[in-house]
Structure 1
């Protein structure tokens, strides 16, 4: 199979991404986030995990675009979903449109029926580009924030429930819990290696700032946290409660344990992301979190296109 390379504006060249490129890609994505939100929220571990998505072949499904001086100007990957990022210094030159064309062509070549991309709602240029290419809104995501000027008060646990921080050896049970809890809205179960790359094997994973709940020795709830120093905030990556133990206040309890741990770690704000398919927005609002910003997943069908 030949490698697709898009036609690019003069002075730019493209090649696939290699593992050694992760630091440079992180710097690019961080620059995009700072330009849009005033701070970087991506960590190198998240970039590396995306390169190991099942079914993604970096040689065919990723691209880096460099300028004449060898500086990374843009990047893209596609595997049913896609991500396209253009460095702020190189915007307005057609790179985003060229990489979007490449992603669609690669998705068709791979036999995908459609392609999806998540875009911050305040990135007006990216939203306009996707809409102009026939992409339609599919799912809404929200970043929730919890401000902690004072140390959060942790509620008393329900009878028979114990809470403790994450420990080595909890990994497999946490994976099963999360995948079972997410099965109602997540179309595909993640294997342990895939899940672990995004959570417990990620360098930013913070076991001491994560909280687990047990009943009779069975793991029934988990809040898994990341420590992302550049944001100056706490970050909750995943919240999961076993279906048989919901509506007992376990998620609220575990979140407050994580909030208190972050506060004691010097953080005064904690954030997490949720989306409309999970039905969890109301829970986080009841906990006292507020919506900080939002993103939309846009999708375009490719069959017969």
Structure 2
């Protein structure tokens, strides 16, 4: 099926009365960001998403927005959205003022239909534990695939930087380190994540090509020969007292683990973010990685808990 065909193939179940649906365009990124933010504030008490997150994700060369995303409108106002973000993964949200109209049920059905059309055999999405979205998907028979946790370093606390083996160093990544960092991250994440390998162009769109990226945001640890054996990507978000340094990706090469490189990268990433104005230090991990205990041992504490719920198609 071509993207044009997929985009024009509407989900067969009718929308609730008074609502319309259409495919999304890149210029809808702001409206989608505002929609997700409203749901986040209602569900977890704060906005996490930024416009740069949506724009970076939609800028991936492999992502066909017209074929994989839909908006639900009440007049000209966007009140719900869903998209297949890749493979068996999706996302959806409904404005908290519009709950109870059947929008979420329609979006869940649309996600299943569109993912099936795009060749997936399963589709899942993250929802805050106990949220209206979590309760809806539970009622619709979506099972928990894995649990995710957002962890925060309490104010005034820092991650201790361990002493590294001789010849090793943590530093800001240079442009000629980018491909090596990508390889280290993908190799590590594919040890536990069931998905296709992300190519360098897609990875770059959400890291070094992300709006607002600065060279200090990507950091690596190198061995005595200068070979990259670990990498971390940190995102600076929010404003003022809520300025957050969020570790988006952290990985160490399999044969170099247990030597303190992960903790060294974490300590360095948070320190770099603080030097650029961050007042909070956060990251997210999930039950597939086995890393929760590691982050708790260095002093981080769980804040919101999210569930990735999915359903077979």
Structure-2-length-normalised TM-score: 0.89
C-alpha RMSD of matched pairs (Å): 2.0
The worse-fitting range, judged by mean Cα deviation, of 181-190 and 106-115 is 106-115
Query: How far apart are the structure 2 equivalents of 1:206 and 1:122?
Result: 36
Residues 6-32 of structure 1: CA deviation (Å, up to 9, x unaligned): 522222111001111111111111121
Q: How far did 1:281 drift?
A: 1.2
Q: How far did 1:212 drift?
A: 1.4
Unaligned 5+ segments in structure 2 are: none
Q: How far did 1:208 drift?
A: 1.7
Match of 2:35 in 1: 28
Alignment partner of 2:96 out of 69, 88, 96: 88
Residue 76 (1) aligns with residue 82 (2): yes
Match of 2:166 in 1: 159
Match of 2:193 in 1: 186
Match of 1:3 in 2: 9
Alignment partner of 1:147 out of 151, 154, 164: 154
Match of 2:205 in 1: 197
Preserved contact between residue 151 and residue 264 of structure 1 (Cα < 8 Å): no
Deviation beyond 6 Å, 4+ runs, structure 1: none
The worse-fitting range, judged by mean Cα deviation, of 281-290 and 13-22 is 281-290
Query: How far apart are the structure 1 equivalents of 2:232 and 2:154?
Result: 18
Q: How far did 1:229 drift?
A: 2.3
Alignment partner of 2:72 out of 65, 68, 75: 65
Preserved contact between residue 227 and residue 235 of structure 1 (Cα < 8 Å): yes
Query: How far apart are the structure 2 equivalents of 1:133 and 1:116?
Result: 12
Structure-1-length-normalised TM-score: 0.91
Residues 272-305 of structure 1: CA deviation (Å, up to 9, x unaligned): 1111111111211122111112111112112xxx
Match of 1:101 in 2: 109
Q: How far did 1:51 drift?
A: 3.1
